[in-house]
Amino acid sequence: MDFNATGLSVGDVVKVGEGLAPVFSAGPARWYALRVAPQREDQVEAWLKRRGVYSFHPVLMRKVRRMGKVREYARRYLPGYVFARFPGEAVAHRLVGRCGITGALTRLDGSWGVVKPSDLRALHSMRKVDAETAAERRAIRAAERRASTVRAGERALFRAGPFSGLHCEVVELVAEDGAKVRVTLFGREIATHVSSSDLVVIVKGC
């Protein structure tokens, strides 16, 4: 499984930090689903990284506006879990109780269960997929805004205001979201000033 976000692939070797007791023994690389204390996922990841263990927890990035400021936050998809790739067999007694690690998913016999890399592929790619989806949504919204922007000489439809439902021709745009238009009312063509936000462009062919 190729982890593009980190440059790691299954089978890579990560060196243990100098002066730190190893938290794994020699052997093939293994993935574990570690249980961690609430809100400690990031700290556990940093703690493991210093000991040569790559780990991640799936999150979805979201932006919210609070008090006029846009803030980005990570919404944890599986709170309380960190998925870690050890370069060997994890040494449980050197992990449990450290930095918020409380244990791991276990087998029926109580031993720590090894997770298949293929079972983690979708979870690991969540951040990348979420970022791509967010970019697509932004592109669609931008295209919609461009399509709905009225310009002089175009035909438009009143979607709000006293002329709602009527067609008009945009003569010119004026300051502060205004527009001068020609509209046929009671069989006569009249010119009037309206808010451009009340108009939507009529797509040719519709």
Q: Is the pTM of this model over 0.75?
A: no
d(CA 202, CA 156): 5
CA atoms 60, 127, 59, 71: torsion sign: negative
Q: Which residues of the chain have pLDDT under 50?
A: 1-7, 16, 206
88 near 27, Cβ under 8 Å? yes
Torsions phi, psi of 60, nearest 5? -115, 125
83 dihedral zone (left: phi>0; alpha: psi -120 to 50; beta): beta
Residue 19's pLDDT is 58
The whole-angstrom separation of Cα 160 and Cα 52 is: 61
pLDDT at 6: 46
Q: Which pLDDT value is given to residue 24?
A: 94
pLDDT of residue 5: 41
